[in-house]
């Protein structure tokens, strides 16, 4: 996420989020396209919970995935360790990922200095997502993965947890630099599995210069791995987010029979060599779309992501679309067209 909401043209989005949280504007409490970046979702009981980039991690809830109510942020104050990673950190936390495992919820999140790979992924746990439940308490467990300029040619942001066929946990992550990575975690999901871990590269795009201190031109981020049938499907976002009308964000996909890859696209190109089949891109209604997650609820797969609304000055908003699969096992998303038909 060469990242995130400090670029010109989108500060008003977070001002609106702040107003929604502080004074509970009715127009914000329930809306079909809430202003979010990097959304992930999970269901507890009869409620869906959405987590997204924002102050302390933005949280929303819904009974129907259409009408959303703002919930308390995960962190009222920045995690105690955050300033040791990014000295000027102001509790604006990026790109969370939510999973239920071992009787509790695991929430991974990103702390970073804008435009640098001075970054770390932390994890917090909770027994419940219902803020009114007496058991509701977020417990922070600190750093899982950290990247340091001059030491690492990757960026520790945009986490996504996945389990392989042996129920071994893996964490994928990354943005720009040398691409997207995946690393094995310990069974407790709180740290990497080895003191000398193997950082598998799963996606990489060509860069004109591989400078340790710069992100470079290889615009790729936001891995999300979804198991279906015999394959692991790796979704990633190419090109540029966060630029309002100038956003060029798009989603691509590849697949592999192994969680560490190699991931191949429809044409047989490896994603570590710049491959990736287009899933969804911007159009006249949405300047760009990306940073997606994928879920199955009641037998239906869903694609959850954000897009830059062309009818509203390029503001970033929540999108949820049904995900189908073609005869060869590749994901397909059909989005509504203005005339009431379907645009694929």
Just list the catalytic residues: 38, 221
Report the candidate in 244, 175, 276 with the shortest Cα–Cα distance to residue 37.
Answer: 244
Is residue 98 within 8 A of residue 107, CB to CB? The reply is: yes
Residue 117, φ and ψ in degrees, nearest 5: -95, 30
pLDDT tens per residue, range 263-297: 999 999 999 999 999 999 999 999 999 999 999 99
CATH H-level, domain 11-343: superfamily:
Glycosyl hydrolase domain; family 43 (2.115.10.20)
Q: What's the predicted TM-score (pTM) here?
A: 0.87
Cβ neighbours for 302, distance < 8 A, ≥ 6 positions apart = 41, 65, 294, 295, 296, 320, 321, 322, 323
pLDDT tens per residue, range 120-173: 999 999 999 999 999 999 999 999 999 998 898 899 999 999 999 999 999 999
């Amino acid at each position: 996420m060469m990242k995130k909401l400090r670029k010109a043209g989108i500060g008003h989005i977070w001002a609106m989020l702040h107003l929604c949280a502080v004074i509970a504007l009715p127009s914000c409490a329930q809306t079909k396209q809430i202003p979010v970046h990097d959304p992930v979702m999970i269901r507890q009981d009869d409620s869906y919970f959405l987590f997204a980039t924002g102050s302390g991690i933005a949280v929303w809830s819904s009974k129907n995935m259409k009408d959303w109510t703002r919930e308390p942020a995960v962190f009222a104050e920045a995690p105690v360790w955050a300033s040791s990673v990014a000295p000027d950190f102001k509790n604006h936390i990026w790109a969370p990922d939510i999973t239920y495992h071992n009787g509790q919820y695991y929430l991974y999140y990103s702390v970073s200095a804008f435009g640098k790979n001075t970054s770390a992924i932390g994890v917090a746990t909770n027994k419940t997502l219902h803020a009114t439940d007496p058991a509701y308490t977020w417990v922070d467990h600190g750093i899982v993965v950290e990247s340091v300029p001059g030491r690492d040619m990757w960026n520790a942001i945009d986490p996504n947890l996945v389990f392989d066929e042996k129920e071994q946990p893996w964490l994928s992550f990354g943005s720009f630099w040398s691409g997207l990575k995946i690393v094995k975690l310990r069974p407790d999901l709180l740290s990497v599995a080895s003191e000398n871990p193997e950082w598998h590269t799963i996606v990489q795009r060509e860069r004109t210069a591989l400078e340790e201190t710069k992100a470079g031109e290889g615009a790729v981020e936001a891995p999300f791995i979804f198991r279906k049938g015999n394959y692991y499907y790796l979704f990633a976002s190419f090109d540029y987010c966060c630029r309002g009308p100038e956003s060029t964000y798009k989603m691509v996909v590849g697949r592999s029979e192994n969680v560490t890859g190699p991931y191949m696209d429809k044409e047989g190109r490896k994603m570590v060599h710049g491959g990736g089949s287009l899933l969804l891109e911007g159009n006249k209604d949405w300047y760009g779309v990306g940073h997606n997650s994928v879920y199955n609820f009641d037998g239906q797969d869903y694609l959850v992501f954000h897009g830059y609304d062309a009818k509203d000055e390029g503001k970033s908003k929540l999108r949820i679309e049904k995900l189908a699969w073609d005869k060869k096992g590749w994901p397909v998303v059909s989005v509504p067209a203005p005339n009431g038909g379907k645009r694929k």
